[in-house]
Amino acid sequence: MPLPHVVTVWNKRYLNKLLVHLAGHGPFVELEHVGRRTGSVYRVPLVAIRHGGQVTIALTYGPRVDWLRNLRAAQGGRMHLGHSLLVLGPPRRIATAEGLRRMPPGARQILALTGTRDYVEFDIQSETPFTGW
């Protein structure tokens, strides 16, 4: 099995189950999306940066991740960020330089070193206090 696949499987099976508990703290979020084929609701822990009425995410696994495909098909989703539940509009790709500029300095350096080139932004359509899923 190629190493990138092993890392992806390990992250999905183990790391995500730990990281979901960090949602709402700092840049850690829990993103909710609905499966394109199954209609099932999924939640994935990510790092997202808010800029006023928008949220930016670095696509460290590239633009073909399932959650992004699902959000495109559904024209948006929901996100637990801080103490808020955000309803997001459809994702839009943004230029690498702009995506890096929006990241905090430490993350910017790591993302540049790892060769992350893909970034998406979402408009925040509404915001309510997060009281749980």
pLDDT at 1: 47
Topology of the domain covering 3-128: Pnp Oxidase; Chain A (2.30.110)
Query: Using an 8 Å Cβ cutoff, are 66 and 11 in contact?
Result: no
pLDDT in tens, the chain (133 residues): 444 544 555 555 555 555 555 566 568 899 999 999 999 999 999 999 999 999 999 999 899 999 999 999 999 999 999 999 999 999 999 999 999 999 999 889 999 899 999 999 999 999 999 999 8
Pairing, β 119-129 against β 54-58: antiparallel
pTM of the complete model: 0.83
Query: Using an 8 Å Cβ cutoff, are 59 and 116 in contact?
Result: yes
For the chain, what are the domain ranges? Answer: 3-128
